[in-house]
Amino acid sequence: MMGNVCLPAGMPERELEQIDLLVKERVRLKKGDLLYRQEESLDALFGLRTGSVKTQLEDASGQVQITGFFLPGEVIGLDGMLDSLHASNAVAMEDSEVCVVKLEDIDEVSRYAPSLQGQVRRIMSKEISRSHQVLLALGSMRSEARLAAFLINLSQRLSALGYSSTDFVMRMSREEIGNYLGLTLETVSRLFSRFARDGLIRVSQREVRILDLDALKQLAGQVS
Amino acid sequence: MMGNVCLPAGMPERELEQIDLLVKERVRLKKGDLLYRQEESLDALFGLRTGSVKTQLEDASGQVQITGFFLPGEVIGLDGMLDSLHASNAVAMEDSEVCVVKLEDIDEVSRYAPSLQGQVRRIMSKEISRSHQVLLALGSMRSEARLAAFLINLSQRLSALGYSSTDFVMRMSREEIGNYLGLTLETVSRLFSRFARDGLIRVSQREVRILDLDALKQLAGQVS
DNA sequence: CGTCGAATTGACTATTATCAAACTAAGTGG
DNA sequence: CCACTTAGTTTGATAATAGTCAATTCGACG
């Protein structure tokens, strides 16, 4: 069975354990590939197995807003079920692999495995909470707090996957970080430099080492 | 049966039609009452029947961020299902009434009415899309575009409920609008004054009349 | 070694926040 | 009925923050 290999190693929560049984297909993506396109019809969810993916909205005037960065173990494609059309573009930020879970299979199987419904609800609810957290950041934090919160969040998610929480490589460019956080790429770059100068992090291109997590949390308004 | 009276008149989509059958209880709220509190355990969803409700996150440092304004026909309580704890506070902005739908009843009933699952997914997905839209606004629009988009959105939702799309009363204060849009109350007030001076709207306290929707859409970056 | 995309840094500007004062509308109690 | 609150709003003056434009620099790769 192909399912079990689709659970990323080190995934902390067992949310996906049943959904994983539904995986009948996997898709490989190369850097820059689109997993799906805005307005395209939606009939499946995607569990990210390896790599990283971003989702972004594009409005009528071509304005782009990144709405999420996804790491292995996370589920992509939860928006757009309202009218079965994807509400965003999903782009691979590096070579990646996703597991495909057909919606009809979820419906089918959950008839005799009722707890599956709860799993799906929880996954969707998590995505809602996540975006509300980002709203909190964009709505009420200053630039340095946003970036600090971003780094802390990334650190935590990577650590949950079994990677180091202090040393990691960011898969996204300064521009993408800025877009996500509602800042310009220059502001993001300056903030990285400042954090480094103040001894909070070491940073070289996309490699980051967190030196003073407490100070970062302080900046992010999270009492440590 | 108490269900059918819980569908707000004029609700355009029939999303709630089956869920409505599950309503066994209704709750009346007075202005300022909390429907639920952050961290409280979650075992039901709430369909707003009359009135208006806001949801807000509160972080460790007491910082508050309003994450949504809800109108009749909309569903409250979709976040927090991850660990069955509400992730936000829900506060009535005026005297309101909600229909209570127990999660266990949803699970129970959806066993012999499978399409119910799709309904729930669609409602949750809509909430995800909604917050992504707000992310777009906070992340990439300037203050005037945010407020214009806010007014357009409110107008559309009220019109879908059968109210005038051009004349309405905002239930929220300048401060609440500002908090939601990531602006200060002074900036919001100045923008209202400017929009009025430029002939886009008439505004007196919380009463608004939209005079030039096309110009508003232009400001919001929505091609009309 | 040269090219190209990404990142850094600087100088300057625009936008929005902050602080402060005055005004309004809707009560409340004498 | 009329001061007198009070919460909400408006407006102004000033300051802080982040954006824009522009010039280098860095690193990866052919």
Q: Say which CATH number the domain at A149 has.
A: 1.10.10.10
Please state the domain count of chain B. 2
Calculate the CA A139 to chain-centre distance: 20
Residue B95 and residue B151 in one domain? no
Nearest-angstrom CA–CA distance, B210 and B215 = 10
Give yes or no for A18 touching B (CB within 8 A): no
Q: Tell me whether residue A74 is in a domain.
A: yes
Nearest-angstrom CA–CA distance, A134 and B131 = 9
* Beta bridge partners of residue A145, listed in sequence order: none
Residue A126 and residue A180 in one domain? no
Residue A62 and residue A170 in one domain? no
Given B85, B103, B126, which residue is the final one in a domain? B126
To the nearest whole percent, how much of chain B has pLDDT over 70?
91
A67: which DSSP letter? E
Residue A109 and residue A180 in one domain? no
A8: which DSSP letter? P
The whole-number pLDDT of residue B206 equals 95
Confidence of residue B117 (pLDDT cuts 50, 70, 90): confident
The whole-number pLDDT of residue B18 equals 65
Contact A152, A222 (CB under 8 A): yes
CA dihedral A58, A59, A64, A70 (to 10 degrees): -40
Nearest-angstrom CA–CA distance, B44 and B78 = 9
Residue B76 and residue B152 in one domain? no
Nearest to B82 among A78, A125, A179 (CB): A125
List of chain A residues whose C-beta atoms are within 8 Å of the C-beta of residue B69: none
Nearest to B138 among A57, A138, A223 (CB): A138
Nearest-angstrom CA–CA distance, A131 and B129 = 10
Q: Tell me whether residue B134 is in a domain.
A: no
Residue A169 and residue A129 in one domain? no
Given A83, A105, A136, which residue is the final one in a domain? A136
Q: Tell me whether residue A224 is in a domain.
A: no
Asked if A82's CB is within 8 angstroms of B122's CB, the reply is yes
Nearest to B221 among A61, A122, A223 (CB): A61
Mutate to test the interface with B, among A57, A132, A222, A223 (most CBs of B within 10 A): A132
* φ, ψ at A53 (rounded to 5°): -135, 145
Mark residues 185-224 of chain B whose C-beta is closer than 7 A to nucleic acid strand D.
185-186, 188-190, 192-193, 203, 205-206
Find all residues with CB under 8 Å of A211, minimum gap 6, and list them. A166, A199, A200, A201, A202
Residue B26 and residue B120 in one domain? yes
Residue A41 and residue A103 in one domain? yes
Nearest-angstrom CA–CA distance, B85 and B79 = 9
Give yes or no for B111 touching A (CB within 8 A): yes
pLDDT exceeds cutoff 50 at A1:
no
Nearest to B135 among A61, A117, A131 (CB): A131
The whole-number pLDDT of residue B109 equals 86
Question: Does the CB of A157 fall within 7 Å of any strand C atom?
Answer: no
Minimum mean pLDDT among A61-65, A216-220, B3-7, B18-22: which range?
B3-7
pLDDT tens, position by position, A9-60 = 555 555 556 667 788 899 999 999 999 999 999 999 999 999 999 999 998 8
The whole-number pLDDT of residue B16 equals 59
Residue A35 and residue A126 in one domain? yes
Asked if A79's CB is within 8 angstroms of B128's CB, the reply is yes
Q: Tell me whether residue B132 is in a domain.
A: no
Contact A74, A131 (CB under 8 A): no
Range A127-136 average pLDDT: 96
Cα-Cα end-to-end distance for chain A:
44
Mean pLDDT of chain A: 90
Mark residues 164-183 of chain B whose C-beta is closer than 7 A to nucleic acid strand D.
173-175
Query: How close A113 comes to chain B (CA, Å)?
Result: 10
Asked if A223's CB is within 8 angstroms of B132's CB, the reply is no
pLDDT exceeds cutoff 70 at A176:
yes
Given A136, A160, A186, which residue is the final one in a domain? A136
Q: Return the CATH number at B74.
A: 2.60.120.10
Confidence of residue B124 (pLDDT cuts 50, 70, 90): very high
* CA angle (B49, B54, B57) in 5-degree steps: 140
What range does the domain containing B172 cover?
Answer: 141-219
Residue B209 and residue B180 in one domain? yes
To 10 degrees, what angle do helices A115-140 and A174-181 make? Answer: 90
- CA of A176: nearest nucleotide by C1' is C6
Residue A64 and residue A21 in one domain? yes
Query: How close B184 comes to chain A (CA, Å)?
Result: 10
